[in-house]
């Protein structure tokens, strides 16, 4: 939510308010300055729960996964592309979920990263591309660095979803992996702290729209949070020519062939259940579901709501 909109609009959970989250998105910022965007998804797009994307024109930019490679091959890649992994297995092709969310095999997610990187690396787009690979959370691993709490602004003054918890969004969370891949990034570069814009600024999910604001010249920020966030555009300016030694393939070990079948028999996991509950017109029940059941139902919900919102 912070990467897309600079705020969670007071939300603590994955349950959107009736009608979806109403805040402005970075996609709209791009439109204001004549830049193009696309979202490519596997089984479901979380962006569908942002109400301001539910217009006929914008829904046409939210496309199934197979159109990503087609866009690259045909020279039609947008200025900004948002890629969403599969949170469930594909019950028809046998492909496993590749979101690296528990309880899924992380190798499937590695295969997705390999697919995206190699598609871009071996295309005509590579010398003008920045690929960002990051995560929504730390995955449960221990972090010895305390979350920053100094000078972190509340993004928009929205009251918290659960006021009794007394959480005012003036702190960050546990660190997450964040990888930049580009021929304009120096080999082996490790970055720790940003160069402003304030003395307390830190890298966080809001750094994505903050950096894109500088790259694309968008009009204003989404919230106080991305306005405060550190940017990484300077890392793309340390070279005068693009590198030519970036590998053309990644040596990833694929998952086992029987993984998808085993995965499909598991009980529905928490994230999949959140998707089911988030959709309007969903029966919002996960009891007794297998992950295969969830995969079929989530795809049904996605198709139904794409048709529903496209008519608005």
Domains: count for the chain:
1
Residue 280 falls within a domain, yes or no? no
Helices (H), the chain: 2-5, 26-32, 56-59, 66-73, 106-121, 207-216, 224-228, 259-265, 270-278, 291-310
Residue 231 falls within a domain, yes or no? yes
Percentage of residues of the chain with pLDDT beyond 90: 88
108 and 259 Cβ atoms separated by less than 8 Å: yes
- Give pLDDT tens digits for 49-104: 999 999 999 999 999 999 999 999 999 999 999 999 999 999 999 899 999 999 99
- Which helix (H) or strand (E) segment holds residue 64: the answer is strand 62-64
pTM > 0.85: yes or no: yes
User: What is the DSSP secondary-structure string of 251-280?
Assistant: -PPPPPTTHHHHHHHSBP-HHHHHHHHHST
> Among all chains, which residue has been given the structure tokens 């947008």?
78
Residue 154 belongs to a domain with what CATH number? Answer: 3.40.720
Residue 294 falls within a domain, yes or no? no
- Give pLDDT tens digits for 178-228: 999 999 999 999 999 999 999 999 999 999 999 999 999 999 999 999 999
Residue 295 falls within a domain, yes or no? no
Report the alpha-carbon distance of residue 294 to residue 292 in Å, rounded. Answer: 5
DSSP 132: E
State the CB neighbour count (10 A cutoff) for residue 56: 10
Give residue 170's domain range: 2-255
Residue 268 falls within a domain, yes or no? no
Residue 52 falls within a domain, yes or no? yes
- 3-state percent breakdown (helix, strand, coil) of the chain, nearest 5: 35, 10, 60
Residue 296 falls within a domain, yes or no? no
Residue 66 falls within a domain, yes or no? yes
């Amino acid at each position: 939510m912070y990467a897309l909109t600079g705020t969670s609009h007071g939300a603590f959970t994955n349950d959107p308010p009736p009608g979806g989250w109403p805040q402005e998105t970075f996609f709209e910022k791009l439109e204001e300055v004549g830049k193009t965007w696309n979202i490519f998804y596997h089984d479901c797009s979380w962006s569908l729960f942002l109400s301001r994307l539910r217009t006929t024109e914008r829904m046409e930019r939210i496309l199934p996964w197979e159109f990503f490679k087609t866009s690259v091959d045909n020279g039609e890649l947008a200025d900004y592309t948002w890629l969403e992994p599969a949170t469930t297995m594909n019950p028809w092709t046998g492909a496993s979920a590749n979101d690296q969310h528990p309880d899924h095999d992380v190798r499937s997610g590695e295969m997705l990263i390999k697919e995206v990187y190699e598609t871009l690396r071996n295309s005509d787009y590579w010398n003008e591309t920045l690929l960002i690979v990051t995560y929504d959370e730390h995955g449960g691993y221990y972090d010895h660095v305390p979350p920053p709490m100094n000078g972190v602004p509340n993004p928009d003054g929205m009251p918290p979803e659960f006021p009794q918890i007394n959480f005012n969004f003036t702190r960050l969370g546990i660190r997450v992996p964040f990888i930049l891949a580009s021929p304009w990034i120096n080999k082996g570069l490790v970055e720790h702290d940003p160069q402003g814009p304030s003395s307390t600024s830190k890298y966080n999910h809001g750094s994505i729209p903050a950096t894109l604001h500088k790259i694309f010249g968008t009009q204003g920020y989404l919230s106080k949070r991305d306005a405060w966030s550190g940017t990484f555009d300077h890392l793309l300016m340390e070279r005068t020519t693009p590198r030519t030694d970036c590998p053309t393939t990644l040596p990833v070990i694929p998952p086992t062939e029987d993984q998808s079948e085993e995965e499909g028999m598991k009980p529905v996991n928490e994230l999949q259940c959140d998707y089911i509950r988030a959709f309007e017109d969903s029966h919002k029940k996960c009891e007794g579901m297998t992950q295969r059941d969830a995969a079929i139902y989530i795809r049904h919900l996605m198709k139904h709501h794409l048709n529903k919102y496209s008519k608005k």
